Chains A and B, each alone.
Chain A
Amino acid sequence: MSTNPAPDLVIADAVVNAPGPRRRQRTQTLEAMLFLSPWIIGFILFTAGPIIASLVLSFMKWDVISPAKWVGLANYKQLFNDPLLLKALANTVYYAALSIPLHIIVALGLALLLNQKVKAMPIFRTIFYLPSLTSGVATFLLWGNIFEPQAGLLNRFLRNFMENPPGWLMDPAWSKVALVIMGTWAVGSTMLIFLAGLQGIPGQLYEAASIDGARPWSQFRNVTLPMLSPTIFFNVIIATIGCLQVFAQAFVLTRGGPSNSTMFYVYYLFNRAFVYFDMGYASAMAWLLFAIVLVLTVIQMRMAKRWVHYG
């Protein structure tokens, strides 16, 4: 451990830094390799091949039917001269910047509510999870109905308060916001992970805090948030990776429109790959996104040192 460990791993190190240095360390490394072997073998067998293939393809021109041709850096050079790609990247960043905080806050709020001790909680938890279960293509249809500018449910409701409610999916200024709302609807998984995290906070901590006279808000600030920080960290990283790859809503509901306002990065990549059959360019796009997400994740892991507490 001569170099800097990733910050959030430091505490785990302290855990296992027991006496009996050399020999113990060697046994533990060996044990670790055994525990890791399923992933390592799976990575070599199932994951590495396709990843390497896509990397090689990013230096080629391939229409899926005729043989691939080596073109060197041409695809990557094209990336930086593609106005639609820039627009797609901007759309995606806009979507993620709205979606990630909203997603985390809503999921945490709902999980706190579901963590209360009242009767019939299993029923409420099941109902709260329903939107995530029904989030398939079937309900995209329903969302189309809800967001419909004239007769849609949402605008019929909003007309009670305002003259001209937004056109939602039909309006380039509001289409991304509509998709953010739709995405936030299905926070069930994030909510459930928060709930599992809340269950792991020892009750004594709250008892101790309330004996010290801590009000609910300060209990939340000083007990819940720090104890939940590993879970928050997880959900933020996963939401970042997921939101930057937003695809399904645009694919099913908006087809990238109106006027490319929901042309998200991966939807554009998908079009390049499977509509224009330009697999080489799509692969180069994928690796650019990969680099962006990787850098963001590593930054988040470094920052985690300051706010994530384990054990």
Chain B
Amino acid sequence: MVEHTKRINKITVYILLIGFSILFAFPFLWMVGTSLTPGELVLDRNRPFIPMQPAWSNYNEALTVLPFATFLKNTLIISIMCVIGQTVSASLVAFAFARLKFPGRDALFVMVLATMMLPGQVTMIPTFIMFTIPGWIDSLKPLIVPAFFGGGAFFIFLLRQFFLTIPTELEDAARIDGCGSFGIYRHVILPLSKPALTAVALFSFMGHWNDFLGPLIYTQSEENKTLALGLSAFKGLHGTEYHLMMAASVAVLLPVIILFFFSQKYFVEGVVTSGVKG
């Protein structure tokens, strides 16, 4: 009887998973379909979802119109540096808020959150002017350096929430063994927070990989531009070349999808469980 219910449950889960998958894959499949449609058919309302004769040449064309190698290099530099900077510095700051006691902590934490509450539209121009002072405009520095200073309120808050849920017994035991605060951060908190740290690293990577506004504001010369900026160039080149824009979009998206797929193994259950016995 129990086996029977289990099987029914499993089938329900699969039906739901597959149903939602069809729904959620739709925009991406539409992008792929459009990217394979010959240019003259793109605006035709009645064109097939996936064309009969896929125009693979769209990809060739899309990836040769612009200096994609340079754009790819810049995007990789920014994304990887920001992942390192944000994950390391946000976890340090979050550790202090979650695990250490100091006067003014609550007020300071509200201040961290408050940095998310002022709409960016009014700080954009002052920020730009500020980065002209060290002469950082038209370089990758304004896009990379700030990541190493705290990693942003979103990630600090996220990691703080996860660090707070880790049982205190482990920390107490480590302190008795003579572990200092940094040791606890390094050997107790970090190893037990892999799913949260993975989420932070993924969000950071994707955020910077797709970031459009930042590079648009701070880079000017071709040699400093990024993939996201390259995509928008298809709008300007010859009217809007949707099929080429979609081909380039899919090409830019693929590495992120693959990365996401392979990051799953860090999302394993029982990370905390393994630490606490009985």
Contacts and interface: CB of A to CB of B under 8 A. Distances in A.
Given A31-B181, A53-B126, A196-B199, A38 B92 contact: yes
A142 B17 contact: no
A49 B20 contact: no
Interface string B167-211: 110011001000011100100000000011011001100100010
A39 B24 contact: no
A12 B115 CA distance: 23
B99 A16 contact: yes
Interface stretch (A78-86, A159-167, A173-181, A200-208): A200-208
Given A35-B92, A38-B89, A13 B276 contact: no
Contacts of B129: 53
Nearest to B18: A124
Contacts of B276: 202
A226 to B, nearest CB: 11
B166 interface: yes
B115 to A, nearest CB: 6
Contact of B13 (A15, A113, A233, A294): A113
Contacts of A290: 114, 117-119
Interface string A31-68: 11101101111110111011101100100000010000
Interface residues of B, number: 99
A234 B25 contact: no
A293 B117 contact: yes
Given A15-B171, A35-B96, A50-B130, A193 B199 contact: yes
Q: Which of B31, B150, B202, B203 has the most CB of A within 10 A?
A: B150
A222 interface: no
Given A282-B121, A311-B165, A193 B158 contact: yes
A218 interface: no
Contacts of B146: 42, 46
B20 A110 contact: yes
Given A11-B164, A54-B123, A298 B110 contact: yes
Given A35-B92, A46-B130, A142 B161 contact: no
A311 B27 contact: no
B118 A287 contact: yes
16 contacts: A9-B106, A36-B108, A39-B93, A42-B149, A43-B149, A46-B130, A51-B115, A53-B126, A118-B17, A128-B21, A128-B24, A133-B256, A138-B31, A193-B199, A200-B271, A241-B116
Given A138-B31, A199-B268, 13 more contacts: A32-B96, A39-B89, A39-B149, A40-B150, A42-B150, A54-B126, A125-B267, A134-B253, A195-B267, A230-B161, A230-B162, A247-B119, A297-B113
Interface of A: 5-6, 9, 11-18, 25, 28-29, 31-33, 35-36, 38-43, 45-47, 49-51, 53-54, 57, 64, 110, 113, 116, 118, 121-131, 133-134, 136-139, 141-142, 151, 189, 192-193, 195-197, 199-200, 202-204, 227, 230-231, 233-234, 237-238, 241, 245, 247, 266, 269-270, 273-274, 279, 282-283, 286-287, 289-290, 293-294, 297-298, 301, 310-311
Can you list the 8 inter-chain pairs with the closest CB atoms, starting with the nearest?
A42-B149, A39-B150, A53-B126, A35-B96, A50-B126, A196-B195, A50-B123, A32-B102
